[in-house]
Amino acid sequence: MKIKIKRKMYKTYYILLVYFIFFIVFGFIMSSPHEILEGFKKILFQSNILITDYIELGGIGAAFINSGLLSIACLFIIVMLGLKPNGAIVAALWLISGFGLFGKNIINVWPVIFGVWLYSKYQKEHFLNYVLIALFGTTLSPTFNEFSFTGIFPLWQGIIFGILTSVFIGFILPPLASYCIKLHQGYSLYNTGFAAGLLGTVLMSFLRLFGINFNKRLLWSTGHNLLFGIFLSILFISMIIIGYILNNKSFKNLFEILEQPGRLITDFFLIYGKGSSFINMGILGLVFTVFIVVIGADLNGPTIGGIFTIVGFGSFGKHIKNTIPVAFGALLASFLSIWDLTSPGLILAILFSTNLAPISGHFGWEFGMLSGFIHVCIVMQIGYLHGGINLYNNGFSGGIVAIILVPIISAFRQKFISGVDELKKDKDY
Binding residues vs other proteins (CB under 8 A): 1, 3, 83-84, 86, 88-89, 123, 125-126, 128-133, 174, 177-179, 181-182, 185-186, 261, 263-267, 270-271, 362, 410, 416, 418-425, 427
Shortest distance, position 123 Cβ to other proteins, whole Å:
7
CB of 81 to other proteins, least distance (A): 8
| Distance separating alpha carbons of residues 70 and 389, to the nearest angstrom | 19
* CB neighbourhood size of 248 (10 A): 11
Distance in Å, CB of 369 to other proteins, minimum:
20
Report CA 14 to chain centroid distance, whole Å: 21
**Contact 23/71 with Cβ under 8 angstroms?**
yes
Q: CB of residue 89 vs other proteins: minimum separation in angstroms? A: 8
Residue closer to other proteins (CB basis): 41 or 413:
413
Name the minimum Å distance from CB 147 to other proteins. Answer: 27
Dihedral angle computed from the Cα positions of residues 394, 400, 404 and 410, in that order, rounded to the nearest 10 degrees: 70
Q: Which residue, 362 or 386, has its beta carbon nearer to other proteins?
A: 362
Q: In angstroms, what is the minimal distance from the CB of 179 to other proteins?
A: 6
Closer to other proteins at the Cβ: 296 or 407? 407
Measured in residues, the chain has a length of 429
H, E, C per residue of the chain: CCCCCCCCCCHHHHHHHHHHHHHHHHHHHHCCHHHHHHHHHHHHCCCCCCCECHHHHHHHHHHHHHHHHHHHHHHHHHHHCCCCCCHHHHHHHHHHHHHCCCCCCCCCCHHHHHHHHHHHHHCCCCHHHCHHHHHHHHHHCHHHHHHHHCCCCCHHHHHHHHHHHHHHHHHHHHHHHHHHHHHHCCCCCCHHHHHHHHHHHHHHHHHHHCCCCCCCCCECCCCCHHHHHHHHHHHHHHHHHHHHHHCCCCCCCHHHHHCCCCCCCCCHHHHHCHHHHHHHHHHHHHHHHHHHHHCCCCCCHHHHHHHHHHHHHHHCCCCHHHHHHHHHHHHHHHHHCCCCCCCHHHHHHHHHHHHHHHHHHHHCHHHHHHHHHHHHHHHHHHHHHHCCCCCCHHHHHHHHHHHHHHHHHHHHCCCCCCCCCCCCCCCCC
Beta bridge partners of 219: 52
Pick between residue 264 and residue 378 the one whose CB is nearest to other proteins. Answer: 264
State the nearest-atom distance from the C-beta of 365 to other proteins, in Å: 17
- CB closer to other proteins, 348 vs 359: 359
- Residue with smaller CB distance to other proteins, 47 or 360: 360
Q: Which is nearer to other proteins, 129 or 248 (CB)?
A: 129
| Smaller CB separation from other proteins, 112 or 331 | 112
In the complex, the smallest distance separating the C-beta of residue 398 from other proteins, rounded to whole angstroms, is 16
CB of 134 to other proteins, least distance (A): 9
Choice between 381 and 422, CB closer to other proteins = 422
CB of 74 or CB of 163, closer to other proteins: 74
> How far apart are CB 80 and other proteins at their closest, in Å?
13
